A and B are shown apart, each in its own frame.
Chain A
Amino acid sequence: MNTEDIQLVKIVRNLEDISIKDPSDEDEDVKFIDQLEVIIPPSSSRSDLSPLDLKTIELLELIEQYEQLINDSYRLNFINGYLNLSRANYNYISRRFSSNSFDYRPYSACKEISIDQDTQEFSIIDNFAVEKAKQNKTKSNKETKETKEKEESSYSSSTTTPKQLTNTTTTTSLKKRKDASTTSKEKSSIITEDPISDTPTKPSLRDPVNQFGSLVPYQLRQSQDYFNKALADSIAVINLRTKIDQLITDIEKLNQEQEDKEVN
């Protein structure tokens, strides 16, 4: 037996052994794993493999990702979503969160899908979050401008001394009125120049949890969080399924071509 066969036998024996290992034996496992890489080369050195083998390895890697996603995060997010929804319904027996409470007045979807034209992959666009971010930005911009203007007006009023005020109160008050009018003009000019409107605009999209009321139990919000994650996982699952399906089709074609060659 050559050295490679001996290593293979050792690796197989190690994999078949289900006993709880001594921590001092871990070094031997690491050695076996290093040896394993000699037999199954890492992805960087797969140039010697046939297209069929490459596609098969890619398929196996995708299946591993798919099974991990399906059995861990995807499954658990749905379970936790249902659990919290049930808790919300149990705690508020008089007001069940179900189809009787759905809002059937016209509204747009908060979450939409965008399809990449090259890879045909799906991705989620959260319209509600985008609109909320815009609202917060305009609010913060407006607040910073108002604070700046306040600081400027307070600085200009603090420069006048009490003596000056007693001598010519009417002129200073007129000046102040003039100053006030000029600052208000400046303000209005700023407002007209600024494309951001002064009045707070209500978002056209609504938080879906509000269709069940303005004060909802925290379990319902927790359920919403889990279903948001479950939705993101669902999109990832769909993308993986599409890739796996495509690879299976390619492998079947290559298998068919190989069989035809062998027959000929």
Chain B
Amino acid sequence: MSSHTESMTKRSLIATIADEDSVTGLLLAGVGQVSTEVGKETNFLTVIPEKTTVEQIEEAFDRFTSTRDDIAILLINQHLADLIRFKVDSYTNAFPAILEIPSKDHPYDPSKDSILKKVRRLFGE
């Protein structure tokens, strides 16, 4: 139990996988951290269309959720989560928590919200 609480207290950062504007906005909000430690250089990935590949997004997702032990929350644009939907949906760990955020060009879509899908399934829709 003490190791679990220790691991929870270690997790303090907010990681981001998002497009340029979303990352800029979240860095303005103060979530960004840059360090010289190997494997923990940055806690954000800026996805540039036609430059960033799906494999890079997957690798960043694995790094922020499994490899690193200091991430408490991962914020990912909804349209980028769609590119790695299988990975996001099969992710079941409590920490880090994953939240799909809207982007400038892809506003929030309630039909893709996983929690509301679960609720509809529960009520038999």
A positions within 8 Å CB-CB of B: 59, 63, 66-67, 70-71, 74-75, 78-79, 81-82, 85-86, 97-99, 102-115, 117, 120, 122, 125-126, 128, 208-209, 211, 220, 223-224, 226-228, 230-231, 234-235, 237-238, 241-242, 244-245, 248, 251-252
Is there an interface contact between A208 and B32, defined as CB atoms closer than 8 Å?
A: yes
Q: How far is the CB of B117 from chain A (nearest CB, A)?
A: 11
Contact of B33 among A82, A107, A230, A235 (CB under 8 A): A107
Interface string of B88-108 (1 = CB under 8 A from A): 000000110101011110011
**Would you give 15 A-B contacts (Cβ < 8 Å), ordered by A?**
A70-B110, A74-B108, A75-B108, A78-B102, A85-B21, A99-B20, A107-B34, A110-B30, A110-B31, A122-B97, A237-B99, A241-B115, A244-B118, A244-B119, A248-B122
Total count of chain B residues near the partner, CB < 8 A:
46
B73 touches A122 (CB 8 A): yes
- Tell me the smallest distance from the CB of B45 to a CB of chain A, in Å: 10
Task: Give Cα A82–Cα B103 distance, bound, in whole angstroms.
Answer: 8
Within 8 Å by CB of B14, from A113, A117, A211, lies A113
Checking A105, A106, A209, A251 against B122 with a beta-carbon cut-off of 8 angstroms, the contacting residue is A251
Q: Known contacts A113-B13, A117-B8; decide if A227 and B107 are in contact (CB<8 Å).
A: no
* Interface residue B3 (Cβ < 8 Å from any Cβ of A): no
Task: Choose among B9, B20, B33 the residue that contacts A109 (Cβ–Cβ < 8 A).
Answer: B33
Cα A235 to Cα B31 in complex, Å, equals: 13
CB–CB B122/A102 < 8 A: no
- For A230, what are the chain B residues with a Cβ–Cβ distance below 8 Å? 25, 29, 101
- In this complex, what residue of B is CB-closest to A237? B99
Nearest CB of chain B from residue A22's CB, rounded to whole Å: 35
Q: Which residues of B contact A248 (CB under 8 A)?
A: 118-119, 122
Smallest beta-carbon distance A51→chain B, Å: 16
Interchain nearest-CB distance for B123 vs A (Å): 9
